[in-house]
Amino acid sequence: MPTIKDIAKAAGVSHGTVSNVLNKRGNVSYEKIQLVEATARAMGYALDEKASQLRKGTVNLIALILPTLEETRYTDLYIGVMRSAEEKGYTVRLFQTDDMPYLERRAMAEAIACKACAVLAVSCLTRLPQEDDFAGRGTRVLLLERPVTPDLPAYLFDMRDAAHRLAAQAQSRGASAQNACLIADLSRPDHQAVIEALRECLPLPQERIIAFSQRDHAASLRAFNGLSPAPEHVICLEERFLPLLDTDADRKFYTLTSLRTVLPDRLCSAALNYRYMGHEAGKAVIRSLETGAPITGRVFPVSRVVVPMEAPAVIREKTLQLLSHQTPTMEALRCLIPRFEKSTGIRVEMRLRSLNDTAAEMYAPSFPEWDVIRLDPTHLGYFGPGMLAPLQDMDSGYQQAFDPLLPGLEAEYSLVEGIPCAVPFDIAVQMLFYQKSLFENMGQIRAYYEANGVDLSIPKTYRDFTHVARFFSRQFRPDSPVPYGSTMALSRPTSMAAEYLPRLLEKGSAALDASGRLQLLSKAGLDAMQEYMDFARCVNPHPRLSWSQHAQDFITDRIATTIIFSNHASHFISSQSANTSMEIGFAPLPGGHPLIGGGTLAVGRKSRHPQEAYAFIRWAAGPEIAPELVMLGGASACRCVYEYQDLKDTYPWFSAVPEQIYRGKRQSILPPGCQYELERNLGEHLLQVMAGKENPEAALAMAQENLNRLYARAKTDGPA
């Protein structure tokens, strides 16, 4: 590899300039940064950050000691630690012990030899022999899953709660001390805690507790097969032992498992979030290393209890008609519907159409007999109780449908005139997505400063957003590494309105009259229009019909930024044409006033099968399928999905969605029942302005006239 001196000579610059560029520091001009980087690449010099760390010998190493990676829980633990370490520039070295003490002692010695700054361990020892060595070297030690000594911090699961919840499920299905058994590793302290807690609820005699032997599975199996009477209910704390049992027999099985989006549906299981534990453990040791603060132990709760779906008592041979426009969540739901049909005997025929065709059908004078309708928030107020069946008409305890969901969604996703008419489903919100490599590139940062006199940063206002988009557009800057600064809806009226309204809301009180009503024909409205038109010169000009197409453009054409609704962001991951070298960043919407989006599920007033339709909605919007729905590229309103570390690893922006949802608006900023009509009318005028067929003031005047009419109608007649 060439030296810094070689590169300096070839580039015709000083040794210090090359050093500053390669180490990403110092006050170097954009021109010289380009020159040095181009010269270094041509000479075969590695420019990436990890290579730089290796050259300096400053890579920080974390030792992770696990029994095996053959078990799902430890694989998830490893992934969690690795992801959190990589985020901070640390490297993880894995040691596998097979729960053999001599292998673990060897792993501990190797961790010391390779100067690991931290050790995370699922230990089979009763005492760590190198504990004093670790303390003397300042090495952080954190135990996982199993406590070894009270002198060391540990991240544990609430095994007593897991035991109580498994016992409760077993008893509800007929388990007793005489017809059940327990299989556990008696050498593990955490399993001993489970046994004690389990026997508080289900007093199993000692002979019905089978000792799992890591070294002799055959002995464990002989003891199990020798039970008399044969167990009808089997609680097996070692998931790896289950394949040795006849799980297809007429028995009910219960186990502990690692929380994942897809869990075994034939077993009753208490799911423990190993990936999240690993992620938090990695963060904890790194925080301790960087701040000097001690590590505090934690106890993680049971995340979910999975209960096998029982066969229906009565098969109801009915067919539901579902209407929706095509969205990522509806495509994901299509894959899961066979499960509902198998368990209930109720068929569901999905009619997925374009947004325009769906709206035309829903707004037709003769509203069809749809059983289930997926509605955007802008449509909900228009249909209301007149065309949708109020939830209390089908279920006096309908509030239970909201219990698993994020709190506070009813106002935007359910209520019309105070009446609950729908269940929140694939909720979404506008968010800003950007190419991290562009915003972290030393050359781009310097070039932006030279052009604008301020540092390049994630835009917090629409004015800043326009500056950033212009900077990354080749029309204004020919040497931009990407062709366009952003994307924009330049074809569909309602989407254009959705992009304009947050710009207007950013103006605050200047966008409202004395009564708090939105004012389009105002200085704020005209300023927002001018900003909108200026921004349009920085975007891909090709018409796009959906937010999913915006997402596709962003990842395939290497556009610098995009604003889309979060439920379409799964295309960043699923697209086969994605630019895999692009790392995606995310941030709140500039201006801080996002519109909510996504949708809600409702029963049509003319449905012939309202109870069955409502049962389908409870299933589709509920926690049973929510994790799989999201992993398949959809969105969900269920609280539980935001606990899944594998979902947050797959979709990094996912954990930010709830907070942004609560900042969002849609129905509350416009006349009740008129959202869709207002946005369509406003968007049509925006289209005319962009085409040069209307001037901004005339367009906003006509849109304001329509808005005033809608306000008057809402005041005299109430929602449509």
Span 406-461, pLDDT tens digits:
999 998 999 988 899 999 999 999 999 999 989 998 899 999 999 999 999 999 99
What would the DSSP string read from start to end of 137-205? HT-EEEEESS---TTS-EEEE-HHHHHHHHHHHHHHTT--TTTEEEEE-TT-HHHHHHHHHHHHHS---
Mean of the per-residue pLDDT values of the chain:
87
* Residues 436 and 404: beta-carbon distance below 8 Å: no
Integer-rounded Cα Rg, in Å, for the chain is 30
Rounded to whole angstroms, how far apart are CA atoms 330 and 339? Answer: 15
> What is the pLDDT, as a whole number, of residue 355?
66
Q: Is 345 left (phi over 0), alpha (psi -120 to 50) or beta?
A: left
> What is the pLDDT, as a whole number, of residue 55?
45
Please give the structure tokens belonging to residue 268: 């009753």
- For residue 713, give the DSSP letter: H
Question: CB-based contacts of 239: which residues, under 8 Å, 6+ apart?
Answer: 71, 72, 73, 255, 256, 257
Rounded to whole angstroms, how far apart are CA atoms 597 and 573? Answer: 20
Q: Is 117 left (phi over 0), alpha (psi -120 to 50) or beta?
A: alpha
> What is the pLDDT, as a whole number, of residue 623?
92
> What is the pLDDT, as a whole number, of residue 160?
92
- 68: helix, strand or coil: coil
Span 571-602, pLDDT tens digits:
887 654 445 446 889 999 999 999 999 999 99
Please give the structure tokens belonging to residue 584: 């995606």
The more confidently predicted of residues 247 and 56 is 247
The pTM score is 0.81
- CB neighbours (10 Å) of residue 514? 7
In this predicted structure, the answer to whether residue 56 has a pLDDT above a threshold of 50 is no
Q: Mean pLDDT throughout 86-114? A: 91
Rounded to whole angstroms, how far apart are CA atoms 641 and 456? Answer: 34
pLDDT band at 314 (very low <50, low <70, confident <90, very high): very low
> What is the pLDDT, as a whole number, of residue 21?
79
* Residues 614 and 373: beta-carbon distance below 8 Å: no
Q: Mean pLDDT throughout 539-555? A: 81
User: Domains of the chain by range and CATH?
Assistant: 4-56 (1.10.260.40), 157-275 (3.40.50.2300), 318-428+597-664 (3.40.190.10), 439-564+668-717 (3.40.190.10)
In this predicted structure, the answer to whether residue 206 has a pLDDT above a threshold of 80 is yes
Span 670-681, pLDDT tens digits:
766 788 888 999
Residues pairing with 431 in the sheet: 564
Please give the structure tokens belonging to residue 666: 């849609």
pLDDT band at 58 (very low <50, low <70, confident <90, very high): very low
Rounded to whole angstroms, how far apart are CA atoms 660 and 592? Answer: 9
Rounded to whole angstroms, how far apart are CA atoms 81 and 85? Answer: 6
> What is the pLDDT, as a whole number, of residue 366?
63
pLDDT band at 538 (very low <50, low <70, confident <90, very high): very high
- For residue 520, give the DSSP letter: S
C-alpha angle 133/279/163, rounded to 5°?
Answer: 95
Rounded to whole angstroms, how far apart are CA atoms 138 and 112? Answer: 11
In this predicted structure, the answer to whether residue 631 has a pLDDT above a threshold of 60 is yes
- For residue 583, give the DSSP letter: P
Q: Mean pLDDT throughout 686-712? A: 93
* Residues 493 and 686: beta-carbon distance below 8 Å: yes
Range in 315-324, 385-394, 591-600, 613-622 the model is least confident about:
315-324
Helix (H) or strand (E) holding 346: strand 346-353
- 445: helix, strand or coil: helix
Give, in order, the Cα–Cα distances in Å from 10 to each of 28, 200, 620: 17, 77, 64
- For residue 250, give the DSSP letter: S
Range in 43-52, 140-149, 258-267, 479-488 the model is least confident about:
43-52
Span 478-537, pLDDT tens digits:
999 999 999 998 878 989 999 999 999 999 988 888 888 889 999 999 999 999 999 999
- CB neighbours (10 Å) of residue 50? 12
> What is the pLDDT, as a whole number, of residue 652?
87
Q: Mean pLDDT throughout 379-392? A: 85
- 501: helix, strand or coil: helix
Rounded to whole angstroms, how far apart are CA atoms 256 and 202? Answer: 17
The more confidently predicted of residues 131 and 636 is 636
Q: Which of 458, 474, 426 is nearest to 563 (CA)?
A: 458
> Looking at this protein, which amino acid is placed at residue 398?
Y
